[in-house]
């Protein structure tokens, strides 16, 4: 399948946010949250990295990281350009905005994955989105690393006792779970009532017997511990649906199926 020489794809879009200023400006509307992050070494580190990478952030309705990928082909050479922005819920208190900002900046700084690659597989996309560099496990652990610094090191004049209690409530389970790294990551695959739906969709993508066996051992019907704020679903299902949406958008803009992209496009026709 031939992909058009110029194609723009927006990944992880839920709501259109207001215009976001360039990073480093003072009009982001998140200055109190930024000051809270600046009070910790982990917070300063991620803010500095984001500023160096010129990642803009601002407030909107739902906290998320939005990546726009644009594919260009010139003289047979493909290039993919990425634009990243971070949106933080404007309705939250500064302490939760700060935790969300730390979390989303970890996502924004992750190595970019080419969504146009013809052999990009759903299973790999889901696993990297959870366990890979800049994935959900790292983002959650990083926000709670910031939270630990607040609780243990920051003066009461910076963070009130009430806010410290809120941080403990949000991160206490994470701090405890991270003591066992493998158990911690496996908890991201608790699917609850979505277990059958996820397994059925993944099976229809024909992952092969070895990979399917791995997934059956990995996913768990227990009540989800971590869910996507955007999709309101457990991360494995949210990421699988994101992969399907990205692939459908690419394939809908392309002519009749031809190699090397036909397998990826053909597989999603079997999935609702």
Give the DSSP H or E segment for 67: strand 64-74
Q: Give me the pLDDT at residue 90, please.
A: 94
Q: Give me the pLDDT at residue 71, please.
A: 84
Q: Is the pTM of this model over 0.85?
A: yes
| Those residues with Cβ within 8 angstroms of residue 236's Cβ, 6 or more apart along the chain or in another chain | 126, 130, 188, 189, 191, 198, 219
- Cα(38)–Cα(45) distance, rounded to whole angstroms? 9
Q: Give me the pLDDT at residue 7, please.
A: 53
Q: Give me the pLDDT at residue 19, please.
A: 34
Q: Give me the pLDDT at residue 137, please.
A: 96
Q: Which of 217, 218, 245, 220 has the alpha carbon at shortest distance from 230?
A: 245
Q: What are phi and psi of 74, to 5 degrees?
A: -130, 120
Q: Going residue by residue through the chain (272 aa), what tens digit of pLDDT does each one get? A: 344 444 555 554 332 233 334 444 445 789 999 999 999 999 999 999 999 999 999 999 999 999 999 988 788 788 899 999 999 999 999 999 999 999 999 999 999 888 888 889 999 999 999 999 999 999 999 999 999 999 999 998 899 999 999 999 999 999 999 988 888 999 999 999 999 999 999 999 989 999 999 999 999 999 999 999 888 999 999 999 999 999 988 888 765 445 567 888 888 878 87
| All structural domains of the chain with their residue ranges | 6-258
Q: Give me the pLDDT at residue 258, please.
A: 53
Q: Give me the pLDDT at residue 135, please.
A: 96
- Cα(191)–Cα(52) distance, rounded to whole angstroms? 37
Q: Give me the pLDDT at residue 269, please.
A: 79
């Amino acid at each position: 399948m031939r992909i058009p020489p110029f194609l723009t794809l927006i990944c992880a879009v839920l709501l259109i946010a207001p215009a976001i200023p360039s990073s480093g400006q003072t009009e982001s509307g998140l200055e109190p949250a930024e000051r809270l992050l600046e009070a910790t070494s982990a917070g300063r580190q991620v803010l500095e990295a984001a500023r160096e990478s010129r990642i803009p952030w601002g407030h909107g309705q739902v906290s998320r990281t939005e990546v726009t990928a644009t594919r260009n082909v010139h003289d047979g050479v493909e290039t993919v350009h990425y634009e990243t922005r971070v949106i933080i819920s404007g309705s939250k208190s500064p302490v939760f905005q700060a935790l969300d900002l730390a979390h989303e900046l970890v996502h924004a700084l992750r190595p970019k994955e080419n969504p146009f690659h013809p052999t990009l597989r759903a299973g790999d996309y889901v696993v990297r989105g959870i366990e890979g560099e800049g994935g959900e496990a790292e983002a959650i652990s990083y926000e709670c690393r910031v939270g630990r610094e607040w609780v243990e090191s920051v003066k009461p004049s910076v963070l009130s006792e009430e806010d410290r209690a809120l941080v403990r409530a949000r991160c206490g389970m994470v701090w405890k779970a991270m003591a066992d790294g493998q158990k911690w990551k496996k908890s991201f695959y608790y699917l609850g009532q979505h277990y059958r739906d996820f397994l059925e969709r993944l099976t229809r993508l024909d992952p092969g017997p070895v990979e399917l066996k791995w997934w059956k051992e990995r996913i768990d019907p227990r009540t989800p511990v971590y869910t996507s704020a955007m999709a309101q679903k457990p991360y494995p299902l949210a990421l699988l649906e994101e992969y399907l949406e990205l692939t459908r958008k690419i394939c809908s803009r392309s002519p009749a199926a031809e190699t090397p992209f036909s397998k990826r496009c053909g597989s999603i026709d079997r999935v609702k």
